[in-house]
């Protein structure tokens, strides 16, 4: 009765293996053979005199043992040798020195051998599945996929792909206003595949600039066809993004093509990104012009560049300053990310009064020296420069209290009013 159960157990093992995903026939046969050989080697110390034949289509196998015929009194290793008497029971024509090949019933090795085989197989199958998942997803990094939300935790969401593989969408890779329920479909880009201790973890992202790029490639045929190139992307996920595009064909307007008629192409992307505002601008290698475009919708009057330090001082009319900075400093932050330049904005100086400027050190009687030093540390050393710098920028960059900045501005304004 036990032997029958063990036979069924082995057949189950084969059927499990045949149903495995992404494992080709050659690999399957190889792993099954390795597993049998591993068990035989553990039992007899070697598997070199065994032939293992696996028939995956039928779900069965054959094991043949090769032994040398020796004189009865010289038999020392029953696994590698067979006595002449035993050999001649199989076939009377056998002689000493010949090789006898006989089929071995694996079940005769006992229950422990069968258990050992199943454990070895289970371990190898698990490793193969992990290798297969890793190989599949390492080639998909940077690709958008759709997956089903399976479990929602505080720090991450567990999703399942079409084949039931587990994917992770960490909280840090979610747009702040993302909200999902179990069973819903989420769209994200494969950000990376971690493979610590051969345990692949597929990490998805909706905040990556690559996600935005792939969405544009899907929505704008000219990008997919290579007629328009995305040169730079800067994102504050869920809030605002700037994307610089370029066309090598003068007949194609890259910005118009990306936005679409009445915004038809960009609307779907904006919805997917939870109403993230997207500014599309023309790329240029002229850094001064690129900074001007990046600060859109503000109109820049002039720019002073320091290319070595990658800094730009931008001068605007007073009414344009708030547009350049944007709500919560978002516009200037994105422009800096896009151009890779530190951008400082200033109100445009009146040419007639520009020569009347006074160095901050002249105000040491009225303003504490440490306050003057804090302002000078951000590259502003004259009274007019302070008055022409936006108040919000002074507070943020100098790290001074609002009241301190307001007092400095009051003292400097009074000087020029007098």
Domain holding 25: CATH number? 3.30.1480
Last residue of a domain, one of 183, 207, 231: 207
Domain holding 191: CATH number? 2.40.50.140
Q: Are 17 and 128 within one domain?
A: yes
Q: Are 180 and 258 within one domain?
A: no
Residue 352 is predicted with a pLDDT of: 47
Q: At what angle do helices 287-294 and 330-339 cross, to 10 degrees?
A: 150
Query: Counting beta carbons within 10 angstroms of the beta carbon of residue 17, is it exposed (0 to 12), middle (13 to 18) or buried (19 or more)?
Result: buried
Q: Are 227 and 252 within one domain?
A: yes
Strand (E) or helix (H) holding 415: helix 402-417
Q: Which domain holds residue 270?
A: 210-283
Last residue of a domain, one of 283, 301, 319: 283
Q: 307 in a domain, yes or no?
A: no
Asked whether the bond before 50 is cis by omega within 30 degrees of 0, the reply is no
Residue 106 is predicted with a pLDDT of: 78
Q: How far is CA 239 from each of CA 205, 211, 224, 235, 418, rounded to the nearest angstrom?
A: 16, 15, 26, 8, 45
Of the candidates 156, 204, 163, 159, the residue with the CA atom closest to the CA atom of residue 184: 159
Domain holding 360: CATH number? 1.10.150.20
Residue 404 is predicted with a pLDDT of: 93
Coil vs helix vs strand at 23: coil
Q: 401 in a domain, yes or no?
A: yes
Q: How far is CA 155 from each of CA 92, 158, 194, rounded to the nearest angstrom?
A: 75, 10, 17
Q: 30 in a domain, yes or no?
A: yes
Number of domains in the chain: 4
Q: Are 6 and 128 within one domain?
A: yes
Local mean pLDDT, 10-residue blocks, the chain (418 residues)? 46 56 70 85 88 77 89 90 90 91 82 82 83 92 96 96 94 95 96 91 97 96 93 95 93 93 92 95 95 93 91 88 88 95 82 66 88 87 86 87 92 80
Helices then strands, each counted (H, E), the chain:
15, 15
Q: Are 185 and 214 within one domain?
A: no
């Amino acid at each position: 009765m036990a032997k029958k159960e063990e036979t069924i157990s082995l057949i189950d093992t084969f059927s499990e293996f045949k149903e495995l995903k992404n494992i080709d026939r050659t690999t399957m046969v190889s792993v099954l053979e390795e597993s049998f050989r591993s068990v035989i080697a553990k039992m007899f110390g070697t598997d070199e005199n065994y032939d293992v034949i696996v028939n995956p289509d039928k779900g069965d196998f054959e094991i043949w043992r090769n032994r040398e015929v020796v004189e009865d009194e010289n038999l020392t290793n029953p696994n590698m040798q067979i006595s002449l008497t035993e050999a001649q029971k199989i076939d009377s024509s056998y002689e000493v020195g010949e090789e006898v090949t006989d089929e071995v019933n694996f079940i005769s090795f006992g229950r422990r051998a069968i258990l050992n085989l199943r454990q070895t197989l289970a371990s190898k199958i698990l490793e193969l599945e992990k290798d297969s998942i890793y190989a599949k997803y390492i080639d998909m990094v940077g690709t958008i996929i759709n997956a089903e939300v399976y479990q929602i935790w505080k720090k991450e969401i567990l999703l399942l792909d079409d084949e039931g593989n587990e994917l992770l969408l960490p909280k840090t890779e979610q747009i702040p206003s993302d909200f999902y329920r179990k069973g819903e479909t989420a769209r994200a880009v494969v950000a990376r595949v971690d493979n610590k201790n051969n345990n692949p973890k597929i990490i998805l992202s909706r905040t990556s600039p690559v996600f935005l790029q792939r969405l544009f490639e899907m929505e704008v045929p000219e990008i997919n066809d290579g007629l328009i190139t995305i040169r730079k992307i800067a994102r504050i996920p869920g809030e605002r993004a700037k994307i610089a595009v370029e066309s090598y064909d003068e007949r194609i307007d890259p910005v118009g093509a990306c936005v679409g008629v009445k915004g038809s192409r960009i609307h779907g992307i904006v919805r997917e990104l939870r109403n993230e505002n997207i500014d599309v601008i023309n790329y240029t290698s002229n850094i001064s012009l690129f900074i001007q475009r990046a600060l859109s919708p503000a109109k820049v009057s002039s720019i002073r560049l320091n290319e070595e330090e990658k800094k730009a001082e931008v001068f605007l009319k007073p009414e344009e300053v708030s547009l350049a900075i944007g709500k919560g400093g978002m516009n200037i932050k994105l422009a800096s990310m896009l151009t890779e330049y530190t951008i400082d904005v200033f109100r445009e100086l009146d040419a007639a009064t520009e020569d009347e400027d006074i160095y901050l050190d002249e105000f040491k009687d009225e303003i504490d020296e440490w306050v003057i030093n804090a302002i000078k540390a951000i590259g502003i050393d004259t009274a007019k420069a302070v008055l022409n710098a936006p108040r919000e920028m002074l507070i943020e960059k100098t790290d001074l209290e609002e009241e301190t900045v307001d007092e400095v501005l009051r003292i400097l304004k009074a000087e020029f009013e007098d």
